[in-house]
Structure 1
Amino acid sequence: MKTTFFTPLVARLTIAASLFCLADGHAATLVNNVKGYTLDEAGKRISFTNMVIEEGKVLALDVQPDNHHIDEVIDGEGKVMLPGLIDAHGHLLGLGANLLEVNLRDSKSAKHAASMVADYAFANTTQDWITGRGWNQELWSDRAFPRAQDLDNVVSDRPVFLTRVDGHAAWVNSKAMALAGITKDTPSPVGGEILKDSDGNPTGVFIDNAAALIEAYLPSASSEIYEQQLHAAGEHLLANGVTAMHDAGVNREVYDFYLKEAVEGDLPVRIYAMISATDPDLKTLLANGPIRDKEDFLSIRSVKAYGDGALGSRGAALLSPYSDAPHQHGLLLTQPQDMAPLFTTVIGAGFQLNYHAIGDKANHVALNEFEKTFAAIGGSELRNRIEHAQVIAPEDLARFAELDVLPSMQPTHATSDKNMAEDRIGKDRMKGAYAWQTLLESGIPLPLGSDFPVELANPFYGLHAAVTRQDRDNQPVKGWYAHEALTIEQAFKGFTLDAAYAGHMEDTLGTLTPGKWADFILVDQDIFNIDEKDIWKTQVQATYIAGKNVYSK
C-alpha cells in the first residue's frame, strides 16, 4: 500500500508545499572528537571518531575534513556518541500527564499514597478532579489493594481517580463513585471487575474495563492540556536520550492533535503512533491510509489492540488459574468472537496490528488469530506485533518467528515484576516468561521499550535490566532467570535498529549510517566497555535531532 504524506488531511488542513523545508540549505556540519558507536545495516557494531551531517542527515563517518566543505564544527569533547534511542512502546501524553499530576510511584503504603494525594490536592485547589498514577500494592508491606476510605479520609469534597502503575486498574474515592452512580448493585462489565467487599460494596478499585465506568466522568482533555502534556513528555524524553518513540494507542482526538502539531513543526520527538482499536472512528482513520511526514516526525500505519490486562492486578489472561488465586484466570479485553473481525479489518487495510498480550492465554489466542488471518488474507509482511509478550506458553515461543510476529518487549517489566511474577504463575510457567534470549535466538527481531509511564522512561534503565536481569540495587545478585539476559549489543539493537524496523522506519532511523537522520546523543560513559551494573548510571550530556541540538545538560 502506498504511504500517504498527509494527503488525507488536505480537506481539513492546508499544507504548504514547503512543509518542513530546511532553512539552512546544504550547509555541512562536522561533529568531531567523539567516541562514536552505531550499528551497520546488518546490525554489527562499528565505531567512528567523527561524522559529517548535511541537510539533517548523516553524510559520512570518519572523514578527512579537508575533503568536505564544512560550514560548522561541533566539538564532541571526547564524549561517547550513540544513535538517538528509540522506545518501541510508550504512552507519550500519558507520560506528560504523569509529569503534571500526583506521582505515586514512590508510595510506601495506601496511607502514604493518600497523604501524597492530600498534599497535591491542597496545592491544586482549583482542580475539579484530583488525578494521579503510579500506585502499586505489590510494593506495599501488606500487598493489599487500597480502598476508597483511605482517600475519603483525606479528600472527600472532590473526586479522586488514581491509575495503577501498569495502567490496568484505578483507585477512586467515594465522591468519584457517587458521581458515576456506582453502588453495590452495579455489575462488573465484560473485560473488567469492580472489586467488592464481603458485603458486596465496591471497595474503590476498578480493574481494566471497569475503570471506564469512572473515566467517563473525568473532564475532557483539551488541546491546551495536550500541548502541556506533549511538551512535558518531550523535554523529559530528550533529556534521557530518547529521540523517537512508538505511542501505543491514540484515539481520534490525539490522532488529529498529532497531525496538527506535525504540520506546525511542533513535535519534540519522532512519533510512530498506533491508532487505538477501540476508537469509534477506527474505520474512518484506516480509510485515511498510512501517514508519514517527509521529515519523519510522525508516522501512523498501525493499530493497537487490547488482549488482556496486567499481571500485577491479575488481569493478564492465563490458560490455567493464577497460582496465588486459583479462582482467577484473568481477563480478555477483546472477546474471542470479536478478534477475527478486528484482525481482518486492520490487516486488510494494510495496517500493522500490535496486540497487547501479557498472559499466556492472551498470547496464544493472538498467535492463533494471526495465523488464521495470514492464511485467509495475507498480511504477515506488515511486521505485526505482540506488545509485552510477557508470559508465553513454551510451545508458543517458536511461533513468533514462524509467523513473523514481532515480540515488542520492555526489559524493566521483568525487574519490576520479579517480586511477584513467580507467585502469580508458578515456577513451571516461568519457562516461557520474559524470554528475551529465547525469542531472539528463534530468529525474530526484538524491539525494546519501557512502557512509560508504567515504567520510568530512561532507556539506560532498560539496557541495564536487559543485560543484567537485575534491578538498580543489583538484585538478585546472579540475575533473575539470568539465562534469558541479553548481551549489551543485543539490547542496544533492540533500542535502535530493531525498534526502527518494528516501526517500518529502518530506512531513515536506528543507525548513524549515511542517508539516515542525524539523531544522536552524547553520553558520559562507554556502555560497551563498563561494568554492566553501571549501565543505568549513564547520563545524557546532549541530544540532537536531524543534526540540531534539542537538549543540553
Structure 2
Amino acid sequence: MSAFLLLLLQAPSAAGGPADLVLRNGMVHTMEAAQPRAQALAVRGGRIVFVGSSAEAAALVGEKTEIVDLRGRPLCPGFTDAHGHLGGLAAALRNVDLVGTRSYAEVIERVRARAAATPKGQWILGRGWDQNDWEVKKFPVHAELSAAVPDHPALLTRIDGHALLANARAMQAAGITRATVDPEGGRILRDGAGEPTGVFVDAAESLIARVVPEADAAALRESVRAAVALLHERGITGLHDAGVSAATLDLYAAMARAGELELREYVLLADDPRTLEAWFRRGPAQDLTGDGRIRVRAIKAYADGALGSRGAALLADYADDPGNRGLAQTSVEDLEGLAERALRGGFQLCTHAIGDAGNRMVLDAYAQALRTVPVADHRFRIEHAQVLAPEDIPRFAQLGVLPSMQAQHAVSDGPWAEARLGPERVQGAYAWRALLDRGVIIPGGSDFPVEAVDPIAAFAAAVTRNGWHTEQCMTREEALASLTIWPAYAAFQEDELGSIRVGKRADFVVLSEDLLNVPETRLGAVRVELTVFDGRVVHRLAAR
C-alpha cells in the first residue's frame, strides 16, 4: 500500500457516523512506516476509523463520543505476549506463590501457612521456587517439606515449569518408590541410596501431576478472569498461549461466547495425539467463536527441557555438571513427521528449544520437512531459542524460522547462565542482535508465569539486559516492535493487529512516559495508564 493511499484512508470521514471513542493531543506510535507518528485516533465498532491530527479528529466527535485528552502522553498498540500461559497464570493466582523465595526454608514456611488453612488431605500446589536464588544452590530434597507438611500432598513447581518438588504424601499418592523407572525424556533425582529426593524433571513431572485432582470448574473460570484482568493492567491485549489442552480451549471458547474473555488468544495447541488428530481433521480455525477472540492454527511441541533445571539439550556437557547434556523430549524423526503434517494441514509449528542441541534438532527437522512439503509462508517458530551454536544462527533467516524469545529470561538467567554453559558457549545465549542483524524478527514475550507479567520490564530487559552482554541488546524501536507488530506477524495477524492503522482492531495502550525516549533509569517507572481492547476501556490507572 502506498504512503499516499494509506494517508488518504486515514483521513476522517463522518460517513459511518460519530466515533465511539476519540483520543487526541497525544504522541501516537503507530508502528506503521508510512505514518509512524500521529496526534489522535478514533474508534467505531471496535475498529480504528481514523489516525491523524487532533484537529481532524474533531470531525468524528458526536454527542455520545467518549473523548480522552492524552495531554501529550504516548499511545501505542496493545502489547501482545508472544509466549505465555494463561492457564498457568490463572493457576499461579490460585496457588502458593513461591516467586522470590530466598531459601528452601522460606518455601516451606509459605507452604506450611497454606496448609494450616487447608483441610487435611487436600493438595497444596505452588510454583515459583528457584534454587539458583538460594545461598545453597542445590536442588532441595523432600525430607524437610514432608516433615513440615505431613497431612497434605504437596506439589511445588519450579519457576520454569520444567521440574517440581513433591513431598512424601504426594509421592505416596502417585505410587512413587525407589523402583519407579525414569520415563523417557525425564529424570527422577535420587539420593545415594537410590531413593527419590522428591525432585522430578521434565517428563518425570507427569508421574506426580497425573494424580492431582482437576480444579473446580467455577474456581478455574474465575481465576482465568482474574488473569485476564491482570494482563489488562499491564497493557496486554493479546497472547500467544503456548500448550493449550482441548479442555482448556473449550473453557476459553465458552468464556468468549459469554463475553468473559477480553483477550486476543492465539492458541498453540498442546502436542497431545488425540487433540492433534481432531484438529488435523478439522483444520485451522481463524476465528473460533466469531468475535475475533480466539484463533487456532498453531501447535506447541517440545525438543528439550530448561537451562535452570539442566534439562536443556546441549551439544557438549554442562560446564557445571560434567556428564550431563540435558534431556531431549523428542527425536528429529518424530519432530520432522509432525512438521510435515502441520505443513500439509495449514498449521504453524512452534517448538520449545533452549539448548544448542535442542535448537539444532528443530532446525534440522524443519529443514527436512520443508524440503518434503515446500510451503513459502510457513512462519514456523522456535520458542525460546536461548542457546545457539554460531553456525546455526544464520539458519533462522535461511529457513524463514522465527525465534520467539523472552527478554526477561536473559536478565533472570544472566547471574548463572555462564556457570551452566562456560565462557565460550554463553556467547550464543539470548543472541538477539546476532539474529536481528541477519534480518530475522523476534516476537517477544515473557513466558509468564515463569517471568512476571510485565511488558515494560520486557522492554527494559531487551534494551539494557541489565548490563549483561549488552552487545546483544535490541534498539528501542526493535523492542517495541517485539511487543506489538512482530507478534502480530508471528501469528499471521499483521493485517488485524499490532499497529495503529485504519481498519485494524482497536487494541491499544496509553503510557505515563514514552518508552522510545524516557531515560534508561526511568524505564522501571513507566506505567500503563489506559488499556483499550476492542474499542472499550478495560483498564484505567487509578489517580495517585
The answer, yes or no, to whether TM exceeds 0.5 is: yes
1:330-341 alignment, distance < 5 Å? 330-341=326-337
Q: Report the CA distance shift for 1:45/1:87 in structure 2 as closer, same or farther (over 3 A).
A: farther
Query: Is 1:154 the counterpart of 2:148 in the alignment?
Result: yes
1:98, 1:127 → 2: CA distance? Answer: 21
Percent identical: 40
Q: Deviations over 1:384-427 (max 9, x none)?
A: 10000000110000000100000000000000000111111111
Candidates 56, 62, 67, aligned match of 2:52? 62
> What does residue 205 of structure 2 align with?
211
Candidates 541, 546, 549, aligned match of 2:534? 546
> What does residue 76 of structure 1 align with?
69
Residues 380 and 403, structure 1, Cα contact 8 Å, conserved in 2:
no
1:527 is displaced (CA, Å) by: 1.2
> What does residue 20 of structure 1 align with?
none
> What does residue 11 of structure 1 align with?
none
> What does residue 306 of structure 1 align with?
302
Q: Deviations over 1:48-99 (max 9, x none)?
A: 2211112211111124144335341322341321211010000001011101
> What does residue 431 of structure 2 align with?
435
Candidates 330, 344, 350, aligned match of 1:348? 344
> What does residue 497 of structure 1 align with?
485
2:99, 2:439 → 1: CA distance? Answer: 36
Candidates 227, 230, 234, aligned match of 2:228? 234
1:380, 1:142 → 2: CA distance? Answer: 50
> What does residue 513 of structure 2 align with?
525
1:126 is displaced (CA, Å) by: 7.0
1:534, 1:153 → 2: CA distance? Answer: 46
Give the RMSD, CA atoms, in angstroms. Answer: 1.6
Candidates 497, 501, 521, aligned match of 1:513? 501
> What does residue 10 of structure 2 align with?
none
1:47 is displaced (CA, Å) by: 2.1
1:138-537 alignment, distance < 5 Å? 138-293=132-287, 294-470=290-466, 479-537=467-525
2:197, 2:111 → 1: CA distance? Answer: 18
Query: Is 1:130 the counterpart of 2:124 in the alignment?
Result: yes
Q: Report the CA distance shift for 1:380/1:306 in structure 2 as closer, same or farther (over 3 A).
A: farther
Q: Deviations over 1:305-361 (max 9, x none)?
A: 011100000000001111111110000111334222222222221100000000000
Query: Is 1:31 the counterpart of 2:19 in the alignment?
Result: no
Q: Report the CA distance shift for 1:186/1:366 in structure 2 as closer, same or farther (over 3 A).
A: same
1:259 is displaced (CA, Å) by: 2.0
1:380 is displaced (CA, Å) by: 4.5
Residues 26 and 55, structure 1, Cα contact 8 Å, conserved in 2:
no
Residues 35 and 81, structure 1, Cα contact 8 Å, conserved in 2:
yes
Residues 159 and 173, structure 1, Cα contact 8 Å, conserved in 2:
yes
2:145, 2:231 → 1: CA distance? Answer: 32
SS at match of 2:148: coil
Residues 27 and 55, structure 1, Cα contact 8 Å, conserved in 2:
no
2:89, 2:409 → 1: CA distance? Answer: 16
Q: Report the CA distance shift for 1:39/1:216 in structure 2 as closer, same or farther (over 3 A).
A: same
1:33, 1:321 → 2: CA distance? Answer: 57
Q: Deviations over 1:95-124 (max 9, x none)?
A: 111011101012111111000111122233
1:491 is displaced (CA, Å) by: 0.4
SS at match of 1:153: helix
TM-score scaled by structure 1?
0.91
Gaps of 5+ in 2: 1-15
1:257 is displaced (CA, Å) by: 1.7
Greater mean alpha carbon deviation, residues 231-240 or residues 289-298: 289-298
SS at match of 1:36: strand
Q: Report the CA distance shift for 1:201/1:277 in structure 2 as closer, same or farther (over 3 A).
A: same
Q: Report the CA distance shift for 1:102/1:26 in structure 2 as closer, same or farther (over 3 A).
A: farther
Candidates 39, 46, 49, aligned match of 2:39? 49
Q: Deviations over 1:163-221 (max 9, x none)?
A: 10000001010000011111111111100000000000000000000010000100023
1:59, 1:126 → 2: CA distance? Answer: 58
- The residue identity in structure 1 corresponding to 2:52 is D
Greater mean alpha carbon deviation, residues 263-272 or residues 160-169: 263-272
1:132 is displaced (CA, Å) by: 0.6
1:486 is displaced (CA, Å) by: 0.5
1:234, 1:185 → 2: CA distance? Answer: 43
2:475, 2:116 → 1: CA distance? Answer: 47
Q: Report the CA distance shift for 1:153/1:126 in structure 2 as closer, same or farther (over 3 A).
A: closer
Q: Report the CA distance shift for 1:336/1:65 in structure 2 as closer, same or farther (over 3 A).
A: closer
Residues 186 and 327, structure 2, Cα contact 8 Å, conserved in 1:
yes
1:340, 1:73 → 2: CA distance? Answer: 52
Aligned length: 519
Q: Report the CA distance shift for 1:505/1:524 in structure 2 as closer, same or farther (over 3 A).
A: same
Residues 32 and 73, structure 1, Cα contact 8 Å, conserved in 2:
no
1:148, 1:221 → 2: CA distance? Answer: 24
1:307, 1:407 → 2: CA distance? Answer: 14
Q: Report the CA distance shift for 1:244/1:66 in structure 2 as closer, same or farther (over 3 A).
A: closer
2:29, 2:121 → 1: CA distance? Answer: 47
SS at match of 1:381: coil
SS at match of 1:238: helix
Greater mean alpha carbon deviation, residues 122-131 or residues 195-204: 122-131
SS at match of 2:424: helix
Residues 267 and 297, structure 2, Cα contact 8 Å, conserved in 1:
yes
Greater mean alpha carbon deviation, residues 412-421 or residues 516-525: 516-525
Q: Deviations over 1:239-264 (max 9, x none)?
A: 00001010001111112222222222
2:369, 2:332 → 1: CA distance? Answer: 14
- The residue identity in structure 2 corresponding to 1:515 is G
1:65, 1:341 → 2: CA distance? Answer: 53
